[in-house]
Amino acid sequence: MRNWLESLAVTLGKEPTKPAPDRFTAAVCEIHKERQTRRAKEETFKIIEDRKEKVAAPQKWRRRRWAVLIAVNLLFVLSFRLDLQFLEGTLSASRFMGFHMADIFSALQVMLASKLVLVNLVIGTATVAFLCLGGGRTFCGWICPYHLLSEWAESLHLMLAKRKIARNLKFDRRARVVIWIVFSVLAFGTGYTVYETISPTGILSRALVYGPGMVLVWVACLLAFEVLFSRRAWCRYACPIGLTYAVVGSAAPLRIVYKIGHCHHDGACREVCLVPHVLDLTKRGRAPDVQVDVGGDCTRCARCLDVCPTGALSLQVKGLGNRD
């Protein structure tokens, strides 16, 4: 429970910190002590070289995730265009083979605006919450169309940053909580789902299904800001949808697990992580136990699994062991 509460605090914007001395288990203390006294320059050099080679290599988890994300959004498009009535609606609210589904934050907005508890939305959010068994912000990494565009924008940002053309401004992650509260209050006070008018997820989903509109200019501005000024700014510092899924999915059984005994602290995982603060525990002296779960703010993108040269990070289902 204590670990879960600390993970939730980090999700809500608290900066990760080194655990108190009494939190470290005897086993992990032995590992830290052994590594502080060990001279392993040749081994460290080899690990760094392996890391560089691995980062540059094709990444199977990224390809899988992009394939799933594109397939899901394409299914919405084809179902509407071909009138299949198989998957109706958009990512904000839909019906899949008769089962209602609703984005949790969007559904909350509607109920706050209408001041009614709508049965279909309750069923829809319950269905989506069950699907959140994937853990963390699985929706963000595997479903959200803006997330995919933001990843592509990130690649451009990194290229421009190397040439000193782009900057990477960082903001307080607690801004997400403020934005979440502000739009919830606005929905309740105005009777209108204000956030849906600026949600890049909703805008892109509606544009894909029903056709583009001028509101896509807003999405283009967000992407331009991320390319030139702040890497993945919307997803990291602003999106209330991502925050909602992070909280709901924080107790899910599927998780990324860190094993300190396998780690050489080369930092490859943090370099590619879409939300690097969740891997702060991979820094020297940060893991309080020999095996620690990565927090709920993790998007389960699994890029860390592709680049980790020692297998210190793995995908597991709680109670069922490792999963390749």
Same domain flag for 140 and 176: yes
pLDDT of residue 38: 58
pLDDT of residue 55: 46
Same domain flag for 285 and 208: no
Same domain flag for 82 and 140: yes
Same domain flag for 50 and 136: no
Same domain flag for 132 and 88: yes
Residue 36 counted as domain residue: yes
Same domain flag for 130 and 27: no
Same domain flag for 174 and 240: yes
Same domain flag for 36 and 89: no
Same domain flag for 206 and 225: yes
Average pLDDT over residues 154-158: 93
Same domain flag for 262 and 214: no
Residue 18 counted as domain residue: no
Angle at which helix 240-248 crosses helix 175-190, to 10 degrees, equals 100
**Which one has a higher pLDDT value, 106 or 323?**
106
Instruction: Indicate the number of domains in the chain.
Output: 2
Q: 205, 220, 247 — which closes off a domain?
A: 247
Same domain flag for 116 and 241: yes
Q: Whole-prediction pTM value?
A: 0.85
Q: In angstroms, how far is CA 313 from the centroid of its own chain?
A: 16
Residue 153 counted as domain residue: yes
The 10s digit of each residue's pLDDT in 22-79 is: 677 877 777 766 766 654 444 554 555 554 444 454 478 899 999 999 999 999 999 9
Residue 17 counted as domain residue: no
Enclosing H/E stretch for 321 = strand 321-323
Same domain flag for 159 and 28: no
Question: What's the number of CA atoms in the CB half-sphere (13 Å) around residue 265?
Answer: 16
Query: What's the domain range around 50?
Result: 2-10+23-57+253-323
How far is CA 67 from each of CA 114, 151, 153, rounded to the nearest angstrom? 37, 14, 18
Average pLDDT over residues 257-276: 87
Residue 213 counted as domain residue: yes
Residue 16 counted as domain residue: no
Residue 136 counted as domain residue: yes
